[in-house]
Homo-oligomer: A and B are copies of this chain.
């Protein structure tokens, strides 16, 4: 039967039907199937599905019914091949399970609302090697723009970003030599501000708790800011404990505090690379029955919910995470529009706000 059908008609559609009978599961219906059922051409179906073209109400209804009956779902990869619009942008963040980056992702998603663009998230696990892999596999799917976190990439990763003929936005940092667009702030400067805050409150013997490597570039920048501020304020002795692979956890924050006070028993205040480790440090104090901030003051970074909810509440640096995403999203839309109209927008750097949020722990 199959062979005969092929010989007589040579028709693709008939062969398709014949195969369908044999297959264990039916093949997913295509646009032509819908078109045939509705008695129109495939092009009309395409137009009906995407809107923007004029279609007779009656025709549209026939098409929608056919789609409903067949359970048809558009195949976008086929569509984007011919239209050269994949309808998505890629965003790489270090970790999903981090409310800061989750907020940035939310900002991005919101900015993309209604633009017909979807967000495709990848997480790099704070590794530039993994980032490189992700950049490549994202580019293979031809995103219309790509957002990355930070300005540190592998050499090949950077080259891939530069060669990709799409807008590139680096976020959460102010890279000295950005690939193109930037939406971020200086983590070092923010950490400096935090040190100054502690100084203003009278603390002098200030320590810093962070991870062991520079994998988390923002964490490394914050330490740098701490060191710079200490030097500027004439506080010669820095007290730094590096412990755990970034991003360090609550528990590691506690352990790090233990080491910090062991090494420098005169410690008056501890700045932690993030609120999570700050909370760990706080509970370590509580276990020792050390009053915070009377015995030791503690500050974090990122304004996670825990810092405003813990007892005592924790002083921290509030970052406009959502806004970083939002602004990146809006910039990206402008840039994509620029590409499409052959009028590329100039490289832009948007600096976002941060603020010291003084709470009970200092």
Contact = CB atoms under 8 A, between A and B. Distances in A.
A54 interface: no
Contacts of A81: 77-78, 81
Contact of A102 (B25, B73, B96): B96
A78 B77 CA distance: 7
A287 B313 CA distance: 11
A139 B311 contact: no
B96 A305 contact: no
A251 B311 CA distance: 12
Contact of A118 (B137, B286, B287): B137
Given A78-B81, A80-B77, A140-B73, A250 B309 contact: yes
Interface string A306-317: 101111000000
B164 A308 contact: no
Interface in A70-109: 71, 73-78, 80-81, 86, 95-99, 102-103, 105
A141 B76 contact: yes
Interface residues of A, number: 58
A85 to B, nearest CB: 11
Interface string A125-138: 00000000000110
A28 interface: yes
Contact of A279 (B75, B98, B102, B309): B309
Given A81-B77, A251-B308, A309-B254, A121 B141 contact: no
A223 interface: no
Contact of A311 (B95, B102, B286): B286
Contacts of A339: 25
Nearest to A135: B73
Q: Can you list the 10 inter-chain pairs with the closest CB atoms, starting with the nearest?
A: A97-B102, A71-B163, A250-B309, A286-B311, A77-B77, A76-B140, A96-B96, A283-B311, A73-B139, A97-B99
Interface of A: 23-28, 71, 73-78, 80-81, 86, 95-99, 102-103, 105, 118, 120-121, 136-137, 139-142, 159-160, 163-165, 249-251, 254, 276, 279-280, 283, 286-287, 305-306, 308-311, 339, 342-344
